Structure 1
Amino acid sequence: MKKIFLSLILLAGTMTSIVSCSDEKLDPQASSSSINMTSPTGGSFVLTGTTAGNNAFTASWTPAEFGFSSSVTYSLQAVKSTDSFSNSSQAIVLGTYSSDADVNEKAVTQRILNNLLLSAGGSIGTSGSFKLRIIGKPSTQLSSSTNGVSAVSNEVTITATPYDTFDEFQKLYLPGSYGGASTFADWSGAGNSATIFSAGNDGKYEGFVWMNVSSPEFKFNSDPTWSGNDKGESSADGSFTGNLGGSNIKPADGAGTYFFTVNWPALTYTMAKRQVAIIGQATPNGWGSPTYLTFDTNPASPYYRMYTLDLALTNDEFLIRLKDDWSVKMGTLSGNTENTTTGGQYKIKLNGGNMKVPAAGNYKVVLDIRNSANYNLRLMPQ
């Protein structure tokens, strides 16, 4: 009996040793120097909205070494040069490559680099110093893994001046008598007026403008300084002139939010007053009655000139409704019911599908419809 018991102990020890060795092989450790970023090696980069699609640089690096063959997902991280990298540092995925490849590379456009630097805390219009590095992880590794492996490259310092992402798109200005009451300036000739955008950069614009006066008047203007000849003042409902001779456009429905479409080459436009509200089973009023959002007029707010509301939401569906007869709404890009993201920008479109709150809770609903190329919604946990 004693011999049997002793044999069991020896067998258990052997099995423990085997499992331990197996765990070490399943959880290899990558050296922090196992990736060498060979490009860029530094330098200064000029970023502009008009050249957003051009390449800023081509990132190149040597493959990560994990001690076993696998496909590896590589990401480019950035922080201000005065900050330190962490697991939460902002990053963009460069792609997934075989670990057997000799050298990996990926072109990084000015738009991608600009978004990365802005998310890392860069200031629009201000030259800054940033650190870049590349991280590689096995593509099969879960992002939530607490004992996962990664390979980290050397750090490279660059300088760059981020631009306002609005500058990627053609703007049309709407100076008018409502400006001073709506966070802008009355009849501003210095560009301090509401704008609408051309998502296709093709002279066709759309957008929402909040006009907080009872009898607003305005003109279309492609030049914020009033120095050109194509001011686009109104000549009749639905059309306007391309010179200084037209009269003011006068919306008849008083104060509120207006939606515009403008075809600049054809000198035509449409204009309609809209409500801005959230509605759906996820809201306190259900699908029966909308809950209206408020235009944020506080310049110190991170949601300045967006529509916001603090609201308790359930784990259910909702839409942004812009007209009571349901003919105009905003929802998912796919047109299907989708879970929204929590905290991040969730892109939406006119007449999209139902959105769904991912988890019940108290949220700040933030609707950003300043730029027709990037209508988006945020659910910020409170």
Structure 2
Amino acid sequence: MKKLINFTLIALVTIAVACHKDATVTKLQPVKFDSNVTASTNAIILSSTSDSTSVLTLNWTAATYPIKLKVTYTVQIDAVTDTGTWANAKTAVVGADILTKTFKGADINTWALALGIPGNTTGQLVFRIQAYQDRNAYSKPITITVTPYVSIFVAPPPPDSLGYSVLYLPGDYQGWSPGTAGTVAAPAVGVYKTSGIYEGYIYEPAGGTYHFKFTSAPDWNHINYGDGSNGALSTDGQAGDLVLPGPGFYELSADVVNLKWTATPTTWAIIGDATPNGWNTETEMTYVPAKHVWTITLNLIKSGSFKFRANNGWNNDFGIDPVTNRIFYADNPIFGGGGAKGGLNNLSVSEDGNYTVYLDLSNPNRYYYYLQKH
């Protein structure tokens, strides 16, 4: 019996050593994306006549992933000063295995103004291509000189973000890529007098699954918030997706302290005695997905004022800070209802005229509006 035990131990050791020798290390194969983006022009001068005209076409070669599956491409557009992080980049989803993208003048004009190039002056935008399959890969950036236009520019977009921390919103609507997803932001304590609550907006086009998640970083390697059922969030990375009821423009909130989330469909309008309908009837705005803005063209008068509000009511509306010229929520139920931020004024124009009004809620660190006078 003793010899049998010894032989058994020797056999086990031999098997363990053999298994150890046979073990292999799986290496993540690299992605090849050495594409130099080519552009149809290196300088664009914009005007009202170029709004519906194709002004820029980008082309690139395909990224090569180890597995032969479809690759989703997205164009990122940013200011030259932000390309160290691309934190404020605008995005245009191209699609699966498509290697070209053409932009209308109105799109480039909106992005140029939003990224800090003043109207009727010349600046530079940087473009790069993001490829995504199981991970992101990026092309070399290309710089385009752009001269946007605007007749009168009221309340220009702030050149800097408010510095709020963010959660990312990867989902079916944009290829499940956290690095190019929209965000919700957590206002600093004292601005809306709350903490741990993230808020922002997401546009869900028709035809998808309407699934998404919150992530704490622009990747899948940190905290992923999924479905904890009945409006709860789960920090289990294997939890199911969060699901919206259908297409639309949603205000999202995530309470990472109490692990709760909400999704409220919203439509936006302008109302006030500066508008033709006064304070009794609002004028509905239209959402333009390609520009990420709500917009309306109407006559405004300087002797009155106006506000933006959601869903034909006063529980979610914006006023303007007279010191910083930034818009903030005057009321919002996510931040306790009532007065979300005190000391805000109504908005106004400096002269009578016909205006196109834009409201950009795509970045919760930089909500802003601007007006183009015709």
If the length of structure 2 is used for normalisation, what is the TM-score? 0.49
Q: TM-score, normalised by structure 1?
A: 0.48
Which protein has the larger Cα radius of gyration, Structure 1 or Structure 2?
1
